[in-house]
Amino acid sequence: MRAPLLLELADDELVVGWRDSEWTGIAPTLEEDVAFSSIAQNEIGHARAAYELAARELGTTADELAFDRTPDDYRCAPLVELRLLEWAHAIARRWLYEQADHLRIETLMESDDAELAGLARKIDREEAYHRMHAELWAERLRDEWRFRDAVDELWPYALGMLPEALRPRLCERVGRGMTDTQGFERGSHTQELTELWDEMTSVRRTAPGAQW
């Protein structure tokens, strides 16, 4: 019964990759543009790998899992759904996402399921550099009020990415006290996901069942 776990991971990676790729062409500098887009592509690559593993168990395909479910069926956290076309917010999410994702991947790497642990190790090889990139930005913008405000605003969403048991460790990582903050929990969705889904699946829905 690892499919639900894999779908959480895959849906997060697909949707965050989709959202971050909205920065292609408009990031603050050309170099960051290339890097941000490349990282977004990596995330979608991780999604594919996780969908493929889940698809084997569920008797379907990665494409069907990625594109043929309704928005309500997605298991992604609200954090990744938000359309953030303001750099402080985009980089704050990237940083918070990497912190939370790291805790999840570490847990998966210790899994007794060799396939799951193997996938997690492969993903982590790339995520190490995503974390490096995000840390550089967080460090540089630490005293910038726009970044701090963005982190404050997104914090309840970041909490919602992880199961209760891992949340204290997330607080520790990002230097925040464990308060009674109500997380934006996985399972509920924002209107922004529906809009994203509509665009993301539009081509595929023009020709249902076609082989691409």
Count residues contacting other proteins (CB under 8 A)?
A: 28
60 Rama class: left (phi>0) / alpha (psi -120 to 50) / beta: beta
Q: Which of 40, 66, 53 is nearest to 117 (CA)?
A: 53
Of 24-32, 49-57, 58-66, 201-209, the window that binds other proteins (rule: CB under 8 A) is: 24-32
CB of 36 to other proteins, least distance (A): 8
Name, in order, each residue with C-beta under 8 angstroms of 49's C-beta and a sequence gap of 6 or more: 119, 122, 123
Identify the three-state secondary structure at position 127.
helix
CB of 30 to other proteins, least distance (A): 8
Among residues 41 and 179, whose Cβ is nearest to other proteins?
41
* Residue 80 near residue 189 (C-beta atoms within 8 A): no
> Which residues ranging from 151 to 170 are in contact with other proteins (CB under 8 A)?
153-154
Tell me if 31 contacts other proteins by CB under 8 A: yes
Please select the residue that binds other proteins; options are 1, 29, 209, 211, rule is CB under 8 A.
29
CB of 46 to other proteins, least distance (A): 14
Please select the residue that binds other proteins; options are 113, 115, 121, 136, rule is CB under 8 A.
136
* Residue 137 near residue 95 (C-beta atoms within 8 A): yes
Tallying the residues shown for the chain, one arrives at 212
Please select the residue that binds other proteins; options are 32, 52, 63, 64, rule is CB under 8 A.
32
> Which residues ranging from 33 to 52 are in contact with other proteins (CB under 8 A)?
34-35, 38-39, 41
Please select the residue that binds other proteins; options are 27, 50, 151, 196, rule is CB under 8 A.
27
Q: What is d(CA 78, CA 196) in angstroms, rounded to the nearest whole number?
A: 12
Q: What is d(CA 212, CA 202) in angstroms, rounded to the nearest whole number?
A: 14
State the CB neighbour count (10 A cutoff) for residue 128.
12
| Contacting residues toward other proteins, per CB under 8 A | 26-32, 34-35, 38-39, 41, 82-87, 89, 129, 132-133, 136, 140-141, 144, 153-154
